[in-house]
Copies of this chain bind each other. A is one copy, B any other.
Amino acid sequence: MLQFTFLGTSSGAPSLTRNVSGLAVRHSKSKDWILIDAGEGTQHQIQRAKLSLQHLQAICITHVHGDHCYGLMGLLASAGMNGRKEQLTIIAPKNIQLWFEATQQLTDLHLPYPLEFIDVNTLQQAIQINESIQLSAIALHHRVESYAFAIEVIQQQKKLNVDALNALSIPKGKLWGDLQQGKDVEYDGKLLMSNQYVEIQQHRVKAIIGGDNDQPELLSSACQDADVLIHESTYTQATLDKVGTAPMHSSAKMVAEFAEQVQLPNLVLTHFSARYHDHEGLNMLKNEAQQFYSGQLFLAEDLASYEFNADHVLVKI
């Protein structure tokens, strides 16, 4: 099932409880995963989350600000020291490639595996990252070129036809389990074919993961059929009004109003200014969002994981 593990949820600078941006996305049936943003310390959080740099397939960088990319070079270097040989794809603004090339030259960085850079600006059409994950990008509005990533997976679920089995008085337990796992079984002299009692249901799950952005409405079209939006909520509206619009961030209110308007079933807020990292501050953000949004709301926590379960419900695991 589609899983999100937050590696960092602070805006700008890390605090003692929250690192700067990083988000691991994977399908729970595979060890492969992708990383959205790599603020400084992301490789440390990857170790804590027990994720493997060997199974990292792609790194997507939403924009070039340091709190979203200054962990990239160390992560690439460590993957090399861990013995990685397979190509790694980096989907990012063009400057990230230029910064990698400058860093490589100036800091004597040698990677024992190839990188493939894809300019995020060319990613209007979805590309297939691996068997289960499709990815495309949507332009946002920030102090620099910034993007959201749309991730789509097909979740398959095997559903046993319980009514049919009960009608035949097939006892629960091992027989049901074997049928569910695709094995044909014998009962009372009859051969029961798994594919006759198991239906494969497919759900498409779509997640929109935003970079820094002060115009959530730019995601209107992408969010029409989305199951969850993960978006920055740097300030409360009161703070944003004080700070002014120059930083070009969103308030909890702005994102919540947008999510309500497009009828999103799930909203995960992240990228909180350090002033909100205590219990009281987080409650302020949560209360503000709940005033304007009636769907399921989460405030992301570092190293917490969230998953779409078999019933298509987003749960914290």
A109 within 8 A of B: yes
B-contacting residues, A86-107, CB 8 Å: 95-96, 98-99, 102-103, 106-107
A143 adjacent to chain B (CB < 8 Å): yes
Q: In the complex, which of the residues B16, B73, B82, B102 contacts A66, with contact meaning CB atoms closer than 8 Å?
A: B73
CA distance A82 to B13 in the complex (A): 9
Contacts of A99 in B (CB 8 A): 102-103, 106-107
CA distance A288 to B103 in the complex (A): 37
How many angstroms between the C-alpha atoms of A78 and B16 in the bound complex?
14
* Contact (Cβ within 8 A) A14 B43: yes
Copies assembled: 2
Kindly state the separation between the CA atoms of A106 and B95 in the bound complex, as whole angstroms: 6
A14-B47, A47-B15 in contact; A107/B95 too (CB < 8 A)? yes
A96 to B14 alpha-carbon distance, docked (Å): 23
Establish whether residues A66 and B74, one from each chain, have CB atoms under 8 Å apart when the complex forms: yes
Identity of the chain B residue whose Cβ is nearest the Cβ of A16 in the assembled complex: B47
| Nearest neighbor of A107 in chain B, beta-carbon distance | B64
A39 neighbours in B (Cβ, 8 Å): 74
Chain B residues whose C-beta falls within 8 Å of the C-beta of A73 in the assembled complex: 40, 66, 70
- Give every chain B residue within 8 A of A103 (Cβ-Cβ): 99, 102-103
Least CB distance, A104 to chain B, in whole angstroms: 10
Q: Which residues of B contact A67 (CB under 8 A)?
A: 74, 77
Return chain B residues, CB-CB under 8 Å to A242: none
Closest B residue, CB atoms, query A78:
B13
Q: Which residue of B lies closest to A94 (CB)?
A: B106
In the bound complex, what is the Cα–Cα distance between A219 and B101 (angstroms)?
34
Other than A96-B106, A98-B102, give 12 A-B pairs with Cβ distance below 8 A. Answer: A13-B43, A13-B81, A20-B74, A40-B73, A44-B44, A65-B108, A66-B73, A66-B109, A70-B77, A99-B106, A102-B102, A108-B144
10 closest pairs, A vs B, by CB? A40-B74, A102-B102, A13-B78, A99-B106, A70-B74, A95-B106, A64-B107, A66-B77, A41-B41, A108-B144
